[in-house]
Each structure stands twice: as structure tokens, then as C-alpha cells.
Amino acid sequence: MKMKKYTASTMALAMKKVEQDLGDDAIIVSSKVVYSKDFLGMFKKKSIEVIAGKEPVRKTTSVSIPAIDDSPKDAVLPNEHSEKINKELADLKSLVKTIQRQSVSYQYPDEYEEIIQRLEQQELNPELITAVGDELFQVKKNGNEKLAKEDYKELAKEELIKLLQGLPFGGLSYNKKYINVLGPTGVGKTTTIAKMAALAVLQKKKKIGFITTDTYRIAAIEQLKVYANLLQSPVEIVYSKEDYEQALVKFDSLDIVFIDTAGRNYREAKYINDLRELIDIGDNMENYLVLSLTAKEQDMTEIIDQFTEIPIEKFIFTKMDETISIGSMINLMVKYKKGLAYYTNGQEVPEDIEEATAENIVELLIQGD
């Protein structure tokens, strides 16, 4: 691949030079901000330096490298050679994409560089950042030179909402009786259930009850009993399958039953199996997975992967008030094609819980509090 360096005052002008010189299929290898100096050695002018290249068009000769899927019988090079070459080309393209993602904030003009940096700080997936940045670049490229930073911010919000399009948002449907709340230990699951239950009683005037399978922590049971007393609602503690079935019979006349499952290390499959043996995951049940925004995204991913056999309706993210980055929330929703019911931002019951929409999540991502 032949490489060439281009310098311009803005990224848009640099890209225009690349396009004019190398065409639409040029590959950007790297880009960075550089400064020219005056004769006194002082920094004088900021500019953008881009290194781009283009794979040369191969002329056909007596030796041809066939495509892997339909290589002709008279090909000079064996299949294993062509496979090796194709693999090397794929690795090269992957490396170029990695370089581009590492310098994503330098690939776009000043008008929305601040927005890109904000998304990076929020730890949004680089691929999603690139999708937003490319959309903004196309808007500018199409002649919208006079747009202000606020205009680009609104366009970024619109693009992020598009990325979430089709995912379910919002709280309880109130169409199903049993609300099964799942999640690892330490995410604030019991408090979150109390907030959801309080909304059901105070706003929807529903008759509710609680079932807890969290018999490993006495404090959790006592905490749930306190909330139940405040809401004047019954609680059943379940130790076995028989206890669970008896609790369902006792709560037959109630509108909504909240099930507080045991908080365990759900990266281990055996705990998922124990859960499935204890609770019947039926058609009249909504399942919500509670995750903490203070956890590492990789850890949350491992937990979600363990719940593939349980039909999770939506996520609930907690502890938003304890972190400065919420990009993982959107990353996981897009990756697993799961929506969002609620997010919580404090310990107060029932105040510190918000019903989620795509608009308010994107607003928090772009604007912050």
C-alpha cells in the first residue's frame, strides 16, 4: 500500500484532499493535531496531519490469485497460499481499524470534537462513537458549514437514539402478575424492588406482595420486611420449591407479586440452575436483570451471558449517582438488544428511581446531570 501525508487546517479539508487525490476507497491510517512554528520557535498555528493510503489495482498476469470461494481449477497458486494472503489482508484491515478507533477524537472537526471526547469519557463503545462521528461528518460534508456546536450536539443525540431504536423502554407493564427481579450480590436489588413496589402501590393502587428467596442474608430479609410493613403488604420467605408453590397459592388474590431472588455470583452457571429449579419461569412473569453501573463492563457481560436461558425483559441499572460514566449502559443494551426499564440514582424510596426512555438516557450521556 502506498502511503501519503496530507496537512490542512481542519479534518474536513484534509479528508477532502485525500478524497480528491486517492478517491472514496482511500484508507485513513492515522491522524493527529500538529503545530507549525515561527522563526522564534514559538507555536503558531494548529493543523491536522493525515496519513492515508490506497491499495493499488492489481493488473492481471499469467499468475492470478483467485478468490477463496470460487477459485478456478487452473489457478497457479495453491489454495493454502491464497488463504494465507487473504488472512494477511484481513489482519491488516483490522489493524488499520484499530488505529483509527484509538485516535477517534482526532478524526473530526473542532465543531464536534468536544462531543466525541464526551462520548469517550463516558466509555461508550468505540464503534458506536465512530457511528455518531461519521454521521456528523457527513452532515458537515454535505454543506452544513454554519452549524453551531449545539446543533451538532442535537444531531449526536438523534443518532444515538437511532442506535437504540427498536429496543423496549419503560417500567412495569402491569400486564403480568409476577415480577422476577434477578441480579448479582451488591447491586441494590432489594432496595430497587422496594422502589418499584412503592410506585405500584402509590401510583397504580395495586395490591402487592413479596416473595424472597434470599435466605442467605438475614439482613436482606429484614430489610424487605421493613419495606413490606410500610406498604402494608405481605411477605413470604421461600426456602424450597414447595415453599414457593405455597406462597403462590397464598398470594392468589393479589395484583402484583415481587420476587426478590438471592444475590449470588451469577458468573457461575450452577447458581442459574439453582434459580431455575426453584422458580417457575412462566408466561405470567416479567424478568428483570439488575446491574450496577459501578461494575466493570466485562464483569457485567459475563453475568448477562449466564442468563441466556431466562427470558430477560429489560435491564435495570443501579448506582448511577456513584459513577461519572454511563456508556456501558448503552453498550450492553445495543450488544444484547435488551431495553431498559429503570435506572436508580440514590437510596431514597421511592424517589431515587427513574423510568427509562431512549431520550432521557441519551440526554444523560451527552449532557450529564
Phi, psi of 176, rounded to the nearest 5 degrees: -125, 150
Q: How far apart are the first and last CA of the chain?
A: 47
Q: How far apart are CA 296 and CA 323, in angstroms?
A: 11
Per-residue pLDDT for 135 more than 50?
yes
- pLDDT value for 94: 57
Per-residue pLDDT for 251 more than 90?
yes
Phi, psi of 36, rounded to the nearest 5 degrees: -90, 155
Taking only the tens place, the pLDDT of each residue in 119-129 is 999 999 999 99
For the segment 110-114, the average pLDDT, to the nearest whole number, is 77
- pLDDT value for 72: 44
Question: 1-15, 91-105, 248-262: which range is least confident on average?
Answer: 91-105
State the DSSP H helix or E strand holding residue 353, giving kind and residue range, or none if neither.
Answer: strand 353-355
Q: pTM score, two decimals? A: 0.69
Q: Which of 4-13, 23-32, 104-113, 188-197 has the highest mean pLDDT?
A: 188-197
The answer to whether residues 319 and 293 touch, using CB atoms and an 8 Å cutoff, is: yes
Per-residue pLDDT for 357 more than 90?
yes
Alpha carbon distances (Å) from 352 to 45, 71, 189, 198, 349? 49, 63, 13, 12, 6
